[in-house]
């Protein structure tokens, strides 16, 4: 009758394992990793959360970004049909806001056969955004634009 003793030993081990894991100390919530810079243009940052978005001066962005911002403030007309459409923030890199809060606008890339990867994303009122973000890598990273600089 070795089988019942083996079953008893197995059940005891299993019960002990389940009990031990229920009393395990929960893992510490990790703090967001700091923003790290990746060589490139002003928006070439890798961020771990929306709170960690770097800022960038408008004057440090390509001149076409200022042109696009002028169009945003005047309400258009915009060169592309997609300009002014709702930006969904699917990447989750910008602060969480209700749908319709963000709108995207193309920042022209000289020599590009299409819209390119550069965008301004405004948050809030469409002609006077409360927040403005720039990406030069089609939403893989952003910086918050400081219009006063």
What does the pLDDT read at residue 114?
Answer: 94
Tell me the residue ranges of DSSP E strands in the chain: 36-37, 45-46, 55-57, 85-86, 102-106, 119-123, 131-135, 143-146
Percent of the chain with pLDDT over 90: 64
Q: What pLDDT, in 10s, does the model give residues 66-97? A: 999 999 999 999 999 999 999 999 999 999 99
64 a catalytic residue? no
Chain segment 33-44, per-residue pLDDT in tens: 333 333 344 444
**Active-site residue, from 97, 104, 144, 147:** 104
Predicted structure pTM score? 0.67
Question: Of these residues, 103, 138, 144, 147, which one is catalytic?
Answer: 138
138 is catalytic: yes
Q: What are phi and psi for residue 57, nearest 5 degrees?
A: -80, 140
**The pLDDT value given to residue 9:** 57
The domain covering 46-146 belongs, at the CATH homologous superfamily level, to Microbial ribonucleases (3.10.450.30)
**pLDDT for 20:** 44
């Amino acid at each position: 009758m070795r089988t019942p003793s083996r079953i008893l030993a197995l059940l005891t081990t299993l019960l002990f394992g389940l009990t031990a894991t229920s009393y395990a100390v929960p893992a510490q919530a990790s703090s967001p990793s700091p923003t790290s810079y990746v060589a490139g243009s002003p928006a070439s940052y890798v961020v771990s959360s929306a709170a960690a978005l770097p800022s960038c001066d408008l004057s440090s962005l390509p001149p076409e970004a200022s042109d696009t911002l002028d169009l945003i403030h005047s309400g258009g007309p915009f060169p592309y049909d997609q300009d002014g459409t709702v930006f969904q923030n699917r990447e989750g890199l910008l602060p969480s806001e209700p749908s319709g809060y963000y709108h995207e606008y193309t920042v022209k890339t000289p020599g590009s056969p299409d819209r390119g990867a550069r965008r301004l994303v405004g948050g809030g009122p469409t002609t006077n955004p409360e927040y403005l973000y720039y990406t030069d890598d089609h939403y893989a990273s952003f910086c918050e634009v400081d219009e006063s600089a």
